[in-house]
Amino acid sequence: MNEFLEQFLVEARELVEQATADLLALEREPDDRASLDGSFRAFHTLKGGAGIVDFAAMAHAMHAAEDVLSTVRKGDRPVTPDMIGECLTCLDQVVQWLDAIEDSGELPGEADAEADLLAARFAARAAASEGAKANSPVLGTAPSSATALAVLQEQIALLAVRGEGLEGRIASAGRLAANIFRHLGRFDDAERIAGSVSESLAGLDTTSIARSIESALERLADKLSPSQIAPVAVRPDPLSRTLRINAERVEALVSLTGELTVANNAIGHIAMLAQEGDNPLAAGIADEHRKLDRLIAGLQRAVLELRVLPMRGVFQRFSRLVREMSESLTKPVRLTIEGEDTHADKAIIEMLSDPLLHVVRNAMDHGVETCAERASAGKPAIATIHLRARREGEHVVVEVEDDGRGIDPNRIRKTVVERNLAAADAVAGMSDEALVDLIFMPGLSTATDVTDLSGRGVGMDAVRASVERLGGRVQLETRLGSGSTVRFLLPFSVMMTEVMTVEAGGQLFGIPLDAVVETVRIPREEIRSVGHAHAFVLRNRTIPLLGLGQTLGWAKVESDSDATVVVASTGGLLGGLEVDKLGSRMDVMLKPLEGILSGIPEIAGTTVLGDGGVLLVLDVKELLR
């Protein structure tokens, strides 16, 4: 695929997203001129781009949608949900075409028929809306001179762009000119134009053909009373300062930055060893290492910025989802979006779509009541779902909040027992908070009916697993009768991981700092045996205790002194890890396990230390299971 076509595909997808967002905003606020103009410009730009790369069917469909929006801009047609729906359907078709172009480099064979169908639907809508005023069918009527001139002016602009795809644009312009002549009743001119284009294309002198057809179209345009035509106002976008970079190049830079960090750690280790003697050179090495440390920290931040993306790309698609689910469930719902300019690592953005999808669908299906239920509860007829994102330190917080019925802890208790997911006596004394957290158990669903959307007991456990895979956490707050909030606490970046080093069984390990609650020293006499396990009490809470070295298969180092314990928490699990010695904190670039080590669930990955040794970074959740 050539670079020109790749650029078109990238820009086309961005335009589809922008048009979708503007159309949905226009549906909410029909008088929003900015959204109307924005959607019109997006379709207009899509049409022009499709024409330049010779995707005539796509250009045809975009032109039909553009015509509809143009009538709205002129005040000849109101904004209606049906009209918005047709435009969104057109954009869905564009996405399918773009996928096909990415796979094969060209539009599918049925694209012409699909474009004709879309154009016919738009024309039928226009006929229905104009029928009351004109009392005559719109389909099949001749275009006005004004419409013909506007179309010709666009074709002239496309022919002015030389280069690849010129032959297709010539043929398209010729067909269009011939059709205009036919509609104006000048059939001889139509046949002459069509024949001339066919003969000329056979000679392949495309540059001179383009000039001659361009000239012919201009002459035709002159005959169509240009003084009567107001030019289409398409405001040019400001020059972009964005530079598109291949993702593989960014990943290569990230990898090199990680290797540089490892090398810097090694220099730090050498500087520390050199300072053990009274050597002026050692002080110089240490000083230069501190400078290098600052420079590499700056490089890490700069590289990290290359990987971050705004939440907008994820959030925008939910406006469409909520609109369609609202119609299918007959539940009027308004979606509000905040913080769409909040940035996060590319890996976080890519992971976020599926978990958010499930949570939003749950809110629509389970959380939001029917119109009758909301009326009896004294709530507004239109429910509200809030989708928010914000930056908090080194974390990104994403929330989905609804004003629905909330979650009934007693219903969860009943469901858990009925499905044999837990014993009745085990859940009898649970707090409401602990019961609500059981929502994340595999196989648990409180839905009374199985639908296409939910109720099959698959979902919230997968949501938590997806978020925790990237070092995040999921929180759930609910207010019975008032609604629920699902909160994702995500790391801002997955490029670097901060760990605390510990020694256990004579080996060095890293524990992700996100999982560390605190470190404590516990007197041996306060450690109790519970069956075959051990536990200790910390601030009136019993916490299970694991000997880290023994758990991982290394020999226990006997000691009569107080136990050094790292209290860790992840995924709703809390436990203590007994270690021999606490080490330092460091930023590392985590690499996944490979080869024979890949089957060890307790190890999340590895990194290289400054002295050349390998640090095994622990998967705390697997240890605490």
Tens-place pLDDT, residues 226-272: 333 333 333 444 434 455 666 777 777 777 777 777 777 777 777 77
What's the pLDDT band for 493 if we cut at 50, 70, 90? confident
Read off the tokens for 269: 């280790």
Percent of the chain residues past pLDDT 90, beyond the cut: 26
Pairing of strands 343-345, 308-310: antiparallel
Mean pLDDT of the chain: 78
Q: Which of 37-51, 253-267, 600-614 has the lowest mean pLDDT?
A: 253-267
Q: For residue 137, is pLDDT > 70?
A: no
Q: Read out DSSP for 48-76?
A: HHHHHTT-HHHHHHHHHHHHHHHHHHTTS
Residues 477 and 399: their CA atoms lie apart, in Å, by: 11
Alpha-carbon dihedral 204, 209, 213, 214, rounded to 10 degrees: 120
Count the neighbouring beta carbons within 10 Å of the beta carbon of residue 416.
22
Nearest CA-CA partner of 573 in 512, 624, 534, 535: 624
In this structure, are residues 500 and 516 in contact, taking their beta carbons and an 8 Å threshold? yes
H helices, E strands: number in the chain: 20, 18
Q: For residue 325, is pLDDT > 60?
A: yes
In 3-130, DSSP assigns E strands to none
Q: Which of 137-141, 351-355, 413-417, 555-559 has the lowest mean pLDDT?
A: 137-141
Q: Which of 257-271, 400-414, 421-435 has the lowest mean pLDDT?
A: 257-271
Tokens 């540059």 locate to: 207
Note the pLDDT tens digit of each residue in 96-123: 999 999 888 889 888 888 888 888 888 8
Report how far apart the first and last C-alpha atoms of the chain are (Å, whole number).
49
Per-residue confidence (pLDDT) for residue 146, from 0 to 100: 45
Read off the tokens for 333: 């719902």
Residues 436 and 477: their CA atoms lie apart, in Å, by: 8
Q: What are phi and psi of 484, to 5 degrees?
A: -140, 160
Q: What are phi and psi of 235, to 5 degrees?
A: -75, 125
Most distant CA pair in the chain, distance: 107
Tokens 């801009």 locate to: 73
Residues 23 and 69: their CA atoms lie apart, in Å, by: 10
Residues 446 and 439: their CA atoms lie apart, in Å, by: 9
**pTM for the structure as a whole:** 0.62
Percent of the chain residues past pLDDT 70, beyond the cut: 73
Amino acid in the structure at residue 420: N
Read off the tokens for 140: 């099949």
In this structure, are residues 509 and 582 in contact, taking their beta carbons and an 8 Å threshold? no
Residues 35 and 29: their CA atoms lie apart, in Å, by: 9
Residue length, the chain? 625
Read off the tokens for 245: 């970079």
Per-residue confidence (pLDDT) for residue 148, from 0 to 100: 47
423 or 136, which is more confident? 423
What's the pLDDT band for 127 if we cut at 50, 70, 90? low
Per-residue confidence (pLDDT) for residue 336, from 0 to 100: 94
Averaged over 493-506, what is the pLDDT? 84
Averaged over 534-551, what is the pLDDT? 89
Q: Read out DSSP for 264-283?
A: HHHHHHHHHHHTTS--HHHH
Per-residue confidence (pLDDT) for residue 172, from 0 to 100: 55
How far CA 253 is from CA of 349, 419, 585, in Å, comes to 19, 50, 24
